[in-house]
Amino acid sequence: MDSLPPEIYWNIFMMNTERGNKPLELYIPEADHRLDTARNCSQVCRLWRALLLQLSSVWGRLLHLQNLEHTTDAWREVVASRIGEASLWITGKVTDSTRRFIFAILQEKWQNVQELEIKDENLYDDEILPTWSFLEREAPKLEVFELTADMCEAFGLPALMPTLPFSPLFRNTAPRLKIFQLWEPFHFSLPAPWMANLHSVTFFRPQNGPLILSALKSMPLLRELYVYGGNTLQPMFPAEDGDLDKPHLPLLESLTLDPFYYPMDMILLLESITLPPGQRLLRKLVIREVYEDHQRVHCSVTKWIHAYISASPPRHLSLSDYQRILTLEDIRDIGSGEGMRVDIVLDDTQSHATIEEIAASLRYSVVEELDVALTDSAFARPLRPLFAVLQSVTHLTADGDYLEPLFHDMLQFSLFPNLHTIYFRGTSLHPDWDFDYEEANTLATLKRFLEHRVQIGSPVSVLDLSSVHPTALPNNLNKERLIQIPGLSVVLPEDRKV
């Protein structure tokens, strides 16, 4: 070991103190023990200690505040003395215990900060806000900037939400900045040279829509865009139409628009942002609560759904409803940051056309798993065109009051020709009261559907009722009757593995 070159040790120590790929959870910050790892390594032997004390780059990345929360002032000073002039990673939640320590470093070494991901619930306190004035200084090494105060909008009144007063941020000099997530309203004006290299940007309750569009034009490398509309006193855009900039974002992979109090703000954003022809990059799309039932909003939404489907054909599609909002969701690996969620208000007119537009994308033919959890059977008719194009579905998970109309349509229109597994979620049939007429109809329709599939040569292989509470099943629904259906395997509650 003693003969290893210092570079090998450096790589080992850096690997031992990596944060990994898991994103920092500002809202639930926890200690991650990386600082303890470095400290323990420095106590293995004299050689390791001598090497580690020379490697300020290791210590500079260990300023996670929750690792310093319950330590002594003496140990914090030791850590501060070891960071030297290294690039700094400062992360976590500021508390009364760590505030004085970390702000002394930020004030003195702001020019060395490479990553700043901070939650400060007291950000706007009269005595604390001035201590953030270093944000008006140049940030030559800054690559990641995320700041939130996590303040609730009291009683939903946006006027109570302050605006961060520091302007221009970074004195307009942050040439290496790639990720900018400021979860507070802030002032900015163009030109802002630090925006040129951004890969990810968040706009929280922006007041000036045209300025946002102009800013996006200066972000040719942008991959992730998040705009949170929230409750505002006035719309982002002064008029429904006008000579708006049309930012072209050729590398955009992720678009998230949270609820907007003024739907026209969302419409104009969706209409104004353009993608290159044949776009094949969009891997995340989140559009929440499209309120209006008029053609323009649905056309603007379906354009982006088509773009997502074209780039990322979904294999697991989920449909659910809550208070007449249909949620269309592509379920992927949650940790990957990929997927689609679109909330569409269902009405009696335009929502039908929206679903037909979505169904028109032949890319949906690759969907193999379908999860339907709907409580309003009135949605049966508008969803029928969507179900009709899902030719590749092999697994169906069903839940909610929509079951009987769903299986009726599957029987009448021969939907899902490749279906071989049906799974009822536990709440599909009610366990809390006596088996009723509606549930009897559901199961009767299901049995007719299963028999029909045998007749047309496409039998279902598995009917999984294992998560249904036994009291929700009628006495005359037993394994013996169902296994008479050729080729069908039935899993009942008593078959569950404990």
Residue 169: inside a domain: yes
Residue 481: inside a domain: yes
Give the number of domains in the chain. 3
pLDDT given for residue 86 in this prediction:
92
Q: Region 374-384: what's the mean pLDDT?
A: 75
Least confident of 48-57, 289-298, 332-341: 289-298
pLDDT given for residue 177 in this prediction:
97
Residue 147: inside a domain: yes
The model's confidence at residue 351, banded by pLDDT at 50, 70 and 90, is: low
If asked whether residues 124 and 79 sit together in one domain, one would say: no
Domain range for 204 is 120-281
Rounded alpha-carbon distances, angstroms, from residue 53 to 61, 73, 85, 112: 14, 19, 13, 19
pLDDT given for residue 432 in this prediction:
45
Note whether 449 and 427 are within 8 A (CB): no
Residue 159: inside a domain: yes
* Nearest Cα residue to 39 out of 86, 74, 4: 74
If asked whether residues 130 and 80 sit together in one domain, one would say: no
Buried b (16+ CB within 10 A) or exposed e, 315-325: ebbbbbbeeee
Residue 16: inside a domain: yes
The model's confidence at residue 350, banded by pLDDT at 50, 70 and 90, is: low
If asked whether residues 138 and 242 sit together in one domain, one would say: yes
Measured distance CA(349)–CA(352) in Å, rounded: 6
Note whether 181 and 226 are within 8 A (CB): yes
If asked whether residues 214 and 65 sit together in one domain, one would say: no
Domain end position, chosen among 233, 266, 281: 281
If asked whether residues 49 and 136 sit together in one domain, one would say: no
The winner for highest mean pLDDT among 54-63, 114-123, 270-279, 345-354 is 114-123
If asked whether residues 254 and 204 sit together in one domain, one would say: yes
The model's confidence at residue 365, banded by pLDDT at 50, 70 and 90, is: confident
Measured distance CA(246)–CA(23) in Å, rounded: 32
If asked whether residues 270 and 147 sit together in one domain, one would say: yes
Domain end position, chosen among 233, 254, 281: 281
Helix (H) or strand (E) holding 319: strand 316-322
Residue 115: inside a domain: no
Domain end position, chosen among 237, 264, 281: 281
pLDDT given for residue 426 in this prediction:
58
pLDDT given for residue 8 in this prediction:
74
Residue 44: inside a domain: yes
If asked whether residues 128 and 80 sit together in one domain, one would say: no
Could you tell me the two tokens for 217? 């034009």
Residue 99: inside a domain: no
If asked whether residues 401 and 483 sit together in one domain, one would say: yes
If asked whether residues 17 and 156 sit together in one domain, one would say: no
96 compared with 34, residue with greater pLDDT? 96
> What is the pTM (predicted TM-score) of this model?
0.84
If asked whether residues 182 and 80 sit together in one domain, one would say: no
**Does the pLDDT value for residue 424 go beyond 60?**
yes
If asked whether residues 84 and 170 sit together in one domain, one would say: no
Q: Average pLDDT, whole number, for the chain? A: 81
> Read out DSSP for 105-156?
HHHHHGGGEEEEEEE-TTTTSTTTGGGGGGGGS--TT--EEEEE-----GGG
